[in-house]
Structure 1
């Protein structure tokens, strides 16, 4: 797979989402210096540890959901230095992946056994509107908690604020810690709200409106979307080799 083939496929795959959002802010192509890319690694985040892990496994291209954060001071510069040193390319795609039909939210729904997507997450008035999915048959909150712990491979934070069985689920993967998103879940008759971060305000508001809430980590609520993207790439370019790059469960839940 050449860079030109990869870039063309990404633009074709994401379509209008690449024109709706600005390159280098919500997606970007970094350090593509090789003629051909065969060994692809993927993860939610890019960190110096991820780049070094990729280098040790002869990965030529890293695909992530997030770029390195500017406010994690110095880390982006170190990632860029290591990518150049080891001649590894990097592609990240943020909001276009969040809002695609195979992306972070819908992939997380499917990982939890939800195939009926009532509302896809999308941009609305400058913020992320929630995704909404429904189970075919209701299940207890406790069973949903066990499902989520199992698919994420980590503990989760739980607020049980009512005794409803769960059929309709509202979700924002990653940083869905806004009270406006909880209110949207309430207004759409969701039985539980799932996300990847919490704040004092979201915890207080969930309690106030009696909304059940489950919070996993930002990293592992979003890995399924990156994996889905990587698998689509593999189906298009069968000669490439894919590997998931390991990230630690360092986010404190609870």
Structure 2
């Protein structure tokens, strides 16, 4: 796969979502090399450590969900320098991946298993609406928590503020700590609200509203969407090899 073919595949996969977020800094190339892409690395974030890992694994191109954050002062400049020095290409896709049919929310529902997607997360009036899924049958909140922890391969935080049995799940992957998202889950009769970040107010409101709360990490609630994106590219160009760039569980 070359970069021209990559661009064509991105346009086909994301369609109107690219137009919706055009010039908003929600997707783009940080570095293009013109090299043929044989080994495609993927991960949620872009950091100097992950670029070093990509170099060691002989990756030609990296796709991520997040760009290197500019408010982590100096890190984006360091990432760009290493991408250029190692001749590794990079493309990030943020909100379009959150709202794609194969994106972060739907991919996590799929990974949890036995979940019918009732409502897809969307971008409405400048904010994310929750995704909603339903388990094929009710299970205890403790069992659901254990299932999600197994999927994410990390310790997760759980607050049993609602019914002991759960079936309907409201979700925002990544940064879904706002109380309005929990309120939306409650109003749409969800038994549990699940996300990748929390604050004091997240917990207080879940307790007040009487809804179970489950919080994993920002990174690992979103990695399955990036993997789905990578797999879509591989399906279009079977000659490429996918390389997972492993991130730390430190959140």
Aligned to 2:96: 96
In 2, the alpha carbon distance for the partners of 1:129 and 1:31 equals 32
Q: Deviations over 1:215-247 (max 9, x none)?
A: 000000000000001011111001101010010
Give the Cα–Cα distance (whole angstroms) in 1 for the partners of residues 111 and 144 of structure 2: 12
Match of 1:139, SS state, is strand
For residues 137 and 121 of structure 2, what CA distance do their matches in structure 1 show? 22
Aligned ranges 1:92-241 → 2 under 5 Å = 92-241=92-241
- TM-score, reference length from structure 2: 0.98
- Number of residue pairs aligned between Structure 1 and Structure 2: 251
SS of 2:169's equivalent in the other structure is strand
Shift of 1:186: 0.5
Q: Is the 8 A contact 1:114 1:133 kept in 2?
A: no
Q: For residue 201 of structure 1, give the secondary structure of its aligned residue in structure 2.
A: helix
Answer whether contact 2:162 2:192 (CA < 8 A) is retained: no
Q: Is the 8 A contact 2:169 2:191 kept in 1?
A: yes
1:57 paired to 2:57: yes
Deviation at 1:78, TM superposition (A): 0.4
Q: Encode CA deviations 1:195-218: one digit per residue, 9 max, x unaligned.
A: 000001111100100110000000
| 1:66 corresponds to 2:66 | yes
- SS across alignment from 1:33: coil
Q: Secondary structure at the match of 2:83?
A: helix
Match of 2:77 in 1: 77
The structural deviation recorded for 1:22 is 2.3
Q: Take 1:86 and 1:227, find their aligned partners in 2: how far apart are those partners?
A: 23
The alignment yields a C-alpha RMSD, in angstroms, of 0.9
Alignment check: 8 A CA contact 1:31 1:83 kept? yes
Q: Which runs of 4+ in 1 moved over 2 A?
A: none
Matched, 1:28 2:28: yes
Offset at residue 163 of structure 1 (A): 2.9
Unaligned segments of structure 1, at least 5 residues: none
Q: Please tell me whether the aligned partners of residues 69 and 75 of structure 1 are also in contact (alpha carbons under 8 angstroms).
A: yes
Aligned-residue offset at 1:174: 0.1
Q: Which runs of 5+ in 2 are unaligned?
A: none
